[in-house]
């Protein structure tokens, strides 16, 4: 199964999730109605039952809607609720630095934006989670126990497991589930509040006012009843969590092994959880709401409905020869920071033969095309000095400005003048410096550099972001014609930062059939066909190869404006995962038809994929040894 199919399965599970939720709501409403009938004490209970049903259902739906709206802001909401602290890109702590390096390497290897990382300092158990509505606003959260007790290989296995949840669509499903489950437990919260409030009322005040005392008693019993019924809602919530998440954990474990090519990593982490006194326990009172998101069971009482398979079952699924012995985990001494062997290595990647790319095209989304070693090569192919520099917000902006500056002297003069007025002399000088630094760099490293700036750029203030966005838009439009790479860079930046700053909600899928998007597919494939073609005949041959299985025939037509390209990408962004896979296969086929994949073509393919919310891993190059 590739991650497109996994995403499609997760999307289909969402429909069942909604059905299970409404069945649970009905069960809770009926329970409240029975409680109201019991407290009515005779008479006609129908009006009270109708009122109770409407109020109860309304509270549950409103609570779920509120929580879902809150979660639409992204994974940072979950991380902060669980007591997480944002790990800043410039952290000098060795353990935090190692964690950031691993996350960056895996993001580059996956072709997705580098997520923010949160550390739960007070959690001693070994656990982690991924949260967000899409890769653009995803966060990775880890406990302090993970950093202190796991080796680099084991920590990589855990993080790879969480990346799998992001790529396979589990993260989005889990966020929706978290919003719905909150609605089911809210009655328990209300009942607990009523009981806590009313039990402090003095007995004497009830005796002085018999009528008032009777009302207080009824309210107390009602609160107690809601507390019990809320427990029923919690049970339904746990049932749904278990039904949704257990099988997805096996898939994520297998994906982790494929990603890292090291089964001992994730197996070692699971063994240490089993051998540790703290295990994977979470102390946060809100952990139960997110229990289905964690790497391992957070230690919450599950009523026999665990959200994760047992540790021994997970271990044997990866390592059949396991002897059944867990590993006692101890806190490791903090290592001193050191430079990575061969870390300063730079140099362009060679172009890939078209046959290699064509062979990979049919398997887009397969785990074997995603290797952490590729991310390590890209990450370490950028000098340590560069990586440290872009942790500064001004430098990170200057990198993007430098990528967008024109090479033509006449155009460059006007762009530099504007940049100096809009951002200042220092910003102009930095942008010119980075323009010179990235000139001639291979597309894979160029895109890697852009993705590594994202965690730093998310640290901009709202006004800083607006200024940065406006400057990039002006630089792109300044030459008056469509430059595809510039446009794609802008779309990638605005997609990933817009999701963070504009608090975009869950994206809806509107197109489930590829044939509905054939005119838009024609524009994209035509554009890709023309980028690397030496002649009109070559472009036509590439186009026909890519469009050979389409039901309708079109004349080759490339993109004519920014607005047209933006509209095309927006539609594919709203397509189902399987539709996205098909357009990417067509684009890769067109690009590699001439036997080679140029840097320019690779830039376009990667940015098209990113623009439609579909990470496309870079193709493996020469590996670089050594690690922190």
Residues marked active site are found at 162
Give me the half-sphere count of Cα atoms (radius 13 Å) on the Cβ side of residue 11.
19
Containing 352, the helix (H) or strand (E) segment is strand 352-353
Instruction: Tell me which residue of 480, 587, 455 sits closest to 528, measured CA to CA.
Output: 587
Q: Beta 116-120 vs 139-143: how paired, if at all?
A: parallel
Question: Using alpha carbons only, what angle is made at residue 155 by residues 347 and 172, rounded to the nearest 5 degrees?
Answer: 90
Tally Cβ neighbours within 10 Å of residue 625.
12
The dihedrals phi and psi of 129, each to the nearest 5 degrees, come to -160, 160
Show Cβ contacts of residue 313 under 8 Å, excluding neighbours closer than 6 positions.
Answer: none
Q: Contact, 138 vs 131, CB < 8 A?
A: yes
CB atoms within 10 A of CB 483: 15
Q: Are 502 and 536 in contact (CB under 8 A)?
A: no
565 in Cβ contact with 408 (< 8 Å): no
User: Contact, 577 vs 78, CB < 8 A?
Assistant: no
Q: Which residues are within 8 A (CB) of 83 and not within 5 positions of it... i.e. 6 or more apart?
A: 120, 121, 122, 123, 284
Question: How far apart are alpha carbons 90 and 54 in whole angstroms?
Answer: 52
Judge contact between 599 and 443, C-beta under 8 A.
yes
Of 543, 542, 493, nearest to 521 (Cα)? 543
E strands, 108-209, where?
A: 116-120, 128-131, 139-143
- The C-alpha atoms of residue 39 and residue 224 are separated, in whole angstroms, by 12
Measure the CA–CA gap between 493 and 469, rounded to whole angstroms.
9
CB 360 within 8 A of CB 395: no
C-alpha–C-alpha distance, residues 208 and 329, integer Å: 61
Q: How far apart are CA 219 and CA 426, in angstroms?
A: 66
CA distance 437 to 100: 24
Cα–Cα distance for residue pair 112/618, rounded to 1 Å: 10
Separation CA 134–CA 141 (nearest Å): 15
């Amino acid at each position: 199964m590739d991650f497109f199919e996994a995403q499609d399965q997760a999307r289909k599970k969402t429909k069942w999730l909604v059905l299970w939720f409404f069945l649970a709501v009905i069960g809770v409403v009926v329970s409240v109605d029975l409680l109201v009938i019991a407290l009515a004490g005779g008479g006609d209970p129908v009006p009270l039952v109708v009122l109770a049903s409407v109020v109860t259902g309304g509270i549950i739906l409103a609570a779920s809607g509120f929580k879902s709206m809150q979660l639409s802001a992204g994974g940072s909401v979950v991380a902060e609720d669980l007591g997480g602290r944002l790990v800043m890109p410039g952290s000098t702590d060795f353990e935090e630095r190692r964690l950031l390096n691993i996350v960056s390497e895996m993001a580059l290897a996956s072709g997705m934006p580098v997520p923010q990382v949160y550390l739960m300092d007070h959690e001693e158990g070994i656990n982690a989670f991924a949260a967000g509505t899409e890769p653009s606003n995803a966060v990775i959260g880890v406990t302090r126990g993970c950093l202190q007790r796991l080796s680099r290989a084991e920590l990589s296995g855990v993080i790879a497991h969480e990346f799998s949840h992001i790529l396979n669509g589990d993260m989005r499903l889990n966020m929706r589930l978290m919003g719905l489950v909150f609605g089911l437990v809210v009655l328990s919260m209300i009942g607990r509040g009523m009981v806590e409030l009313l039990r402090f009322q003095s007995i004497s005040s009830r005796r002085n006012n018999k009528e008032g005392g009777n009302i207080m008693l009824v309210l107390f019993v009602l609160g107690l009843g809601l507390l019990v019924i809320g427990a029923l809602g919690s049970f339904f919530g746990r049932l749904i969590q278990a039904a949704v998440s257990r099988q997805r954990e096996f898939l994520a474990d297998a994906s982790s092994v494929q990603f890292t090519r090291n089964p001992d990593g994730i197996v070692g982490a699971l063994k240490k959880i089993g051998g540790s006194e703290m295990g994977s326990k979470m102390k946060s009172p809100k952990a139960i709401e997110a229990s289905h998101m964690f790497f391992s069971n957070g230690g919450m009482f599950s009523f026999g409905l665990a959200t994760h398979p047992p540790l021994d079952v997970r271990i044997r699924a990866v390592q059949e020869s396991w002897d059944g012995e867990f590993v006692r985990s101890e806190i490791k001494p903090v290592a001193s920071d050191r430079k990575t062997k061969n870390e300063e290595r730079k140099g362009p990647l060679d172009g890939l033969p078209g046959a290699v790319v064509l062979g990979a095209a049919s398997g887009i989304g397969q785990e074997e095309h995603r290797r952490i070693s590729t991310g390590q090569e890209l990450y370490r192919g950028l000098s340590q000095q560069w990586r440290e520099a872009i942790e500064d917000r001004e430098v990170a902006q200057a990198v993007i400005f430098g990528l967008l500056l024109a090479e033509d002297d006449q155009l460059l003069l006007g762009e530099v003048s504007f940049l100096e007025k809009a951002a200042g002399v220092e910003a102009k000088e930095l942008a010119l410096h980075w323009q010179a630094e990235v000139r001639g760099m291979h597309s894979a490293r160029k895109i890697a550099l852009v993705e590594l700036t994202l965690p730093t750029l998310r640290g901009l203030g709202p006004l800083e972001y607006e200024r940065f966005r406006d400057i990039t838009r002006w630089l792109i439009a300044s030459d008056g014609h469509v430059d595809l790479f510039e446009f794609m860079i802008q779309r990638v930046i605005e997609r990933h930062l817009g999701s963070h700053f504009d608090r975009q909600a869950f994206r809806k899928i509107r197109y489930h059939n590829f044939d509905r998007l054939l005119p838009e597919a024609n524009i994209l494939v035509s554009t890709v066909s023309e980028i690397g073609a030496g002649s009109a005949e070559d472009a036509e041959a590439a186009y026909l190869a890519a469009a050979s299985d389409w039901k309708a025939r079109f004349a080759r037509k490339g993109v004519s404006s920014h607005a047209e390209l933006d509209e095309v990408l927006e539609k594919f962004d709203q397509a189902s995962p399987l539709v996205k896979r098909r357009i990417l296969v067509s684009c890769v086929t067109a690009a590699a038809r001439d036997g080679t994949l140029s840097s320019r073509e690779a830039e376009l393919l990667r940015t098209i994929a990113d623009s439609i919310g579909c990470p496309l891993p870079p193709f493996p190059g020469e590996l670089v040894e050594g690690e922190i």
